[in-house]
Structure formats: structure tokens, C-alpha cells
Amino acid sequence: MTARSQLYEGKAKILYTTDDPAVLLTYFKDDATAFNAQKRGSIEGKGAFNCAIASHLFKQLEASGIPTHFIEQTSANEMRVQAVQIVPLEVVVRNIAAGSLCQQTGLSLGTVLKQPLVEFYYKNDALGDPLLTLDRLLLLELATAEQVEQLRVMALKINDVLQPFFMTCGITLVDFKLEFGLDQHQRLLLADEISPDTCRLWNLTEDDPKQRVMDKDRFRQDLGDVASAYRQVMERVLQQAL
């Protein structure tokens, strides 16, 4: 199956059509952005690292009963996926306080939450991807109440799979962002990617707040060794058998 034409280019990936209208080809770029693309750069090897990590994690989740858009990894930077209509919501699951949760609530960085927190953000760059209440989400008709509940349940189930998986990798899953899409049968599928671009990951064996970071916060905060951190995550993830 060959790619025919570019369908869409985002901050981190390019989508191409294929011979099959129900299948797309995703190319993972080395480009890096932060703060709603106000900061831009490139991380050598990031595309290949993220593609490998996401492919492995999608397989892990599929084996645990989570439906995803993933079909197969076809090259270092590419995977075939089912075409979906993306739900314009970013679903964030938090296990430990970090980032905007600390800024907006006053919780100290590293506070372990009593239970996972699920939040919904409007996937809209022009508005800065704002945090939404359920009533606002329904007002904007971004999803139905039934779909929102299904997204919440799926997000928590994904967390139940990923938290112990990353623990076996010697990594703490602090929080992560998910995106979902509707297939041709209106079934919700996990889409986009799961990688150091979309997760906060801390090295379990490192206590220093800066040195333990193994995700895009290294790029956001100019901590250095970004590619090395991504590579280390990939190597640890791929060591875990499916």
C-alpha cells in the first residue's frame, strides 16, 4: 500500500492518503513545539523514537482491550492507521500534580493525587486549547454526554494499563494527553500517539527534579539532552514484551 498525497500536516506528524480510503499513513517528524507552538525547534531522531514507542504502546493497549487506530508500523518514522474523524477534545489524565494543574490550583509539583484526574480540553489552537467544564463541552456540541462518559472510562482504563507498564520500565507516568476519533461505524478509537511528546515521564531512579524528566518538558524548560531522554524511553519501552 503506497502513500498518494498529503492530507494534513500538524506540529509533529504528517498524514497521507493511501490506496485504501479507510487507511492513512502517518509520518512522525523531528519537529518540536511547545507553548502552543510559540517555541519551535527540532529533536534529532524524535520522529523515529516516538513512532516506535507509540507503535509498541498501541499494541499493548490493543492486547488489553482498548480499540485504537493503529494497524502497523511500516518504517522507522511511519505507521498505517485507520482513518477516523477526530473528536475535537484533548483528554488529559493526571496521576501526579505537574504543569498547568500546579499553576491553576496551587498544588505542589509532585503531589500524588488520591485518584486519577480526567480533564477535557478544547482542541483549538486559536483559543489556546482551553480547559472545559462538562456544560461548556456540551454547549459547544464537541461530543455527546454518552461519548464524554465513554471517553472518561476509556481514559481511565488506558491509565490502568500504562501506569504499571511504565513502572516496569522504571518510569513514573505523571500525566498524559489522549486524542480519540470516530471510525466509519461511529466507534470511538484511541488515535494520535502516546509518546514523550504527549506524556510526562519521570525516571524512577532519579530524585533531582530536572534530571528525572524524560519527556518534552526537557525541550520546554531547556534542560538539554532531549534526544537522549527520548531514546532512553524508547529503549526501555521496547524491552518490555507484548
Mean pLDDT of the chain: 96
Cell of 17: 492518503
pTM: 0.96
- Amino acid, single-letter form, for residue 101: L
Q: Report d(CA 175, CA 102) in Å as an integer.
A: 12
- Rounded to whole angstroms, the Cα distance separating 140 from 161 reads 31
Q: What percent of the chain has pLDDT over 90?
A: 94
Q: What is the mean pLDDT of residues 42-57?
A: 97
* Statement: residue 37 has pLDDT above 80: no
Residue 182 CA, distance from chain mean position: 17
- The domains located in the chain, with CATH, are 3-82 (3.30.200.20), 85-225 (3.30.470.20)
Q: 100-135 pLDDT, tens per residue?
A: 999 999 999 999 999 999 999 999 999 999 999 999
Q: How confident is the model over 55-79, as a mean pLDDT?
A: 98
Residues 6+ apart with CB under 8 A from 56: 237, 238, 240, 242
Give the model confidence (pLDDT) of 225-235 as tens digits.
999 999 999 99
In 3D space, the residue among 64, 36, 24, 80 whose CA is nearest the CA of residue 162 turns out to be: 64
pLDDT at 126 (0 to 100): 93
- Cα–Cα distance between 41 and 39 in angstroms, integer? 7
DSSP run (H or E) holding 105: helix 100-105
Please answer whether residues 68 and 62 qualify as being in contact, where contact means their C-beta atoms are separated by less than 8 angstroms: yes
Residues in CB range of 191: below 8 A, 6 or more apart: 68, 69, 81, 84, 86, 179, 180, 181
242 pLDDT band (50/70/90 cuts)?
A: confident
* Beta bridge pairs of residue 44: none
Of 184, 198, 181, 189, the residue nearest 233 (C-alpha): 198
Residue 2 has pLDDT above 70, yes or no: no
Cα(241)–Cα(42) distance, integer angstroms: 30
Cα–Cα distance measured from residue 38 to residue 210, given in angstroms and rounded to the nearest whole number: 22
